[in-house]
Structures are given as C-alpha cells and as structure tokens.
Amino acid sequence: MKVEVKEHNEKWERMFREEAQRIKDIFGNELIDIYHIGSTSVRGLKAKPIIDIMPVVKHIEKIDSLNKQMTEIGYEPLGEFGIKGRRYFRKGGDNRTHQVHIFQVDNKEDINRHLAVRDYLRTHSNDAKRYGDLKENLAKQFPNNIESYVNGKDAFVKELEKKAIHWYKD
C-alpha cells in the first residue's frame, strides 16, 4: 500500500456523508449514531485520503449478518481486526478509500477514545499541525512501507491519545 499524506480536502466531509448514508441504509434500526473520525475529520489536518467512519450500534454481533450487504457496496469484512468488540471493514484494497470501525453503544472506552482524539485535534491546532507534519514526513520517508509509517507515528499517537482523553474527560 502506497503511503500518501495530503493537505486537507473539503470533499472529505462530503465523502463521509455519502458513505454514512449507504451504511445507515444497511444498518437500519441497529444504528444509533455514525461519526466521521480520524484525520480526514479534522479541518486543516494533513491526512492519508482515507475516510474513517465510526458507526455505533445496539448489538455488535448483529453486524456480522450484514457482511454480505457491506461487501455489495465494496467493503471487505475483517471482523474484530485486533480490537476486541469492534467490527472493521475497509474499502478500496491497496487504494483504500474508506475504513469503518463499528462499536456497540456500551463500549464507551473505544467510542470516547476516537471522539476525544478527533475533538482534541479540532480544538488544538498546534498539536494538529505537529501531527500532520509528522505524518507528512513519515510518508516521504516510507512511501511504500505502511508498517514503518505506522510505527513512526506510534509514540506520538499514544501521547496524543492520553492528552486527548484527559482533556475530553474535563
């Protein structure tokens, strides 16, 4: 997978809304809420042009019965994919365009972690700039190595999460 970080693009919000509607149509009454998360949800933040979507649902197990419908709109179902209690889908293969991280409504820890980081970056422009610059530099350094890119930002992201969660609770 090619690692590419771009300047923020206003179309990312529209891409989120369009895809969120497709997901709402599939999930129906099982869906409680749906959020645009990740770097593309933060105005002005440099990001890989992949839209991260976080649906919150009543019963996570019921999502497994929707794999066929998600596949029909281009998603690859990957189960928990490393996070207990999550259902993860990705779209676009090596040219990924969307990632869907689904959590059950009572999984407050994971839901709040994602929202805390998003909202923290939306309101702390200095940290958002530092994060964007780090991602841009790593993408230039590791344009064909997603693992090295992810590892390179790991310490920053962990510290960012701690600060964001502390800020979010206050």
Would you write out the chain's pLDDT as a tens digit for each of its 170 residues?
Answer: 899 999 999 999 999 999 999 999 999 999 999 999 999 999 999 999 999 999 999 999 999 999 999 999 999 999 999 999 999 999 998 899 999 999 999 999 999 999 999 999 999 999 999 999 999 999 999 999 999 999 999 999 999 999 999 999 98
d(CA 153, CA 42): 17
Are the C-beta atoms of residues 93 and 50 closer than 8 Å to each other? no
d(CA 165, CA 163): 6
Beta strand 51-57 with 98-104: parallel, antiparallel or unpaired? parallel
Q: Where do the structural domains in the chain lie, given as residue ranges?
A: 11-169
DSSP 8-state secondary structure symbol assigned to residue 100: E
Q: Domain 11-169 is in which class?
A: alpha beta
